[in-house]
Structure 1
C-alpha cells in the first residue's frame, strides 16, 4: 500500500513538472510506465517523500503565519468587526463575544482617544443590529448589547487608572466612581420612573438609559486616564438630554435636574430641589450649553448651564418659595 501511495505521489509530481516545463514533458513522453517508477530504490523513494512532506509542512507553516499576520492586520485596521451576526438569534447571550471585540479594540489602540473612538464605533454597530429586532422581547435583549460595550470599557479604564494614578488622583476618582455606582439606579428612576409604573417596554427604556449613563462615565474616565498618561483627549459634545445631581459634597442625592423630552416630544426640565419643591417646565436653547427655563405655571424662570463637569440653575424670576437670584449647583453629571 505504501509503495502505491509513493508511486501516485511521484506521478502527480511529474505531471506537475510537465505542466510547468514543456521540455521535461517532451523528454519523458508518455512512455514512462508505472513499472519503471516502481523500480525506484525504496530508500531513495522514502527519502524523497520525507523531503516532500517536510516541504509541505513548511508551506503550511508559512501559510499559517501569513494567515495570522493577515488576521492581525485586519484587527488593527478595524477592530470593530466581528465574525458573528447577533440578529440571527436575539435571545442568545453574546456577552463574551462583545467583550472580546472591545478588548481587541483596546489592545490595538494607539492612544486613549483612538481607543475611545473605536469603542464608540463598536457600540454604534450593535445599536444598528438592535434596530432589526421586531418583537418586544427581542428589542429588550438587543438594547443591552451596547451597554455591554460601554460597561466593559468602563471597567477597563478604571483598572488602568487604579494602577497608574497617584494616590490623590486615585482617591478623588474612586470617591466619584463610588458615588456614580451608588446613584445610577436612582438617576434612572428619575428619568424613566419606577418599573412598576411601566410595562414590557421597561427593560428597553432601562437599557437605553443605562447605556447613556455608562457612555458619559466612560468619557470622564477616558479623559482622566489620558491626563494621567500625558495624552491629549478631546471631550465630545455633551448631549442635551441628561441628568445632573447635587450631592452637597456627600455620597447622597439632594437635588436632581433632568433635561429630557415628554412623551409628546416636547423639551422639558424636571427639577427636584432639596427642601424646596419639585418643578417642571419647558426651555428654549440659547446656545453654548445654555437654556432658558420657564415652569409650567409661568411663575418661575431661570437660566440653566450644563456641561461635563455639572450644571447650574439660576433663578431669574421666583415665587413665594424659590427666591429670585437663587443659584442651584449640580456638581455631578450623569
Structure 2
C-alpha cells in the first residue's frame, strides 16, 4: 500500500439484521497517524461498524478498506494490518502476561527468539515487568487492559481499533491509555476510537464522527462541532435570583428574544450568545455594573462535547429549563 493512501476507507456501508437496519450508507476515511473518534448513543451502530471493519461480520453492501485490504475480498490481509481491543480483554487467564505475549507473537508468525525479545520490550513499555510472570487471572482490570493492548502490538499494526478501551478503568490506567494513543499518532498508526467518555474523545481525537440510528449525522473536529452547536456564549448568574428580570432588561439588545423566552420562574442564570467573545462579555458587565446589579458569576463558556452530542442526537436528560436556555443561545448565534 502506498504511504499516501488512506489507512481506512469506508464507502456506503449498509448492514441489516433481519428487519433492523443497523447501518445506512456509512462513509468516512482515516488518515495515517490520525485519531478518529466514533461517537453515538447505545445502539447507534458503532459496534457494528467496528465489527465490519475488523472482519467479524460482513456488510450487506458498500466497501471498506483497511491499509488497502478489502474487508470482504482480503479479510486475512485486514487482520494482519490491524489491532482490535475492546472492553473485555481477550487473554488466557491461566497463562502469565509473558506467556500471553509469546503466544500472540508465535501466532503472528514471529520466530521464538524474536517473540521473546518482543515480549520483554512490551512488558517494559506497559510497566508490567513485575507482573510479567504472574497469571493474567490475578491482574487488576487496568493491568489486563494494558497486557491486552500489548498483545495486539506484538507485530506493529497499521490501524488500531480501540472500542471503549478505558471503560471501568481507574484514572491512572486511563491516563496510560491516553498516552498510548499519542504514541500511535507519533508512529503514524491510524486509530479509530469509540468511547462513552466524551471528554476522552475531545482530548484525543483529531476528528469526530457522530453516528445515530445507523447514519453519520455530523463530522468534524471537536471545535467545529462545538461551533455548529452554538459557539461561545456568556453565562450570567446574579447574586439574587429576584434580579434576573432586571438583568434581562438591562442587557437590552445583547440578549436575543429567544433567550428571554427561555427564562422561567425557576431560572437562576441567563445564557446569551457571545459572537465577539470577551467584547460581548465586557459590554454585558459594563451594563450590569452601571445598573448596580450584583453578580455571583459571569463568564464565557463554550459548548462541551457532551452538549454537542446531546444536541445532535436529541438525547438529553438534563433539566428542560437548562436545555431550553442553552439551545436558545445556540439558535440565536447560529
Q: TM-score range by the shorter chain?
A: under 0.3
Instruction: Flag the structure with higher helix content.
Output: 1
Instruction: Flag the structure with higher strand content.
Output: 2
Asked which structure has the greater CA Rg, the reply is 1
TM-score under structure 2 length normalisation: 0.23
Greater relative contact order (Cα < 8 A, sep 6+):
2
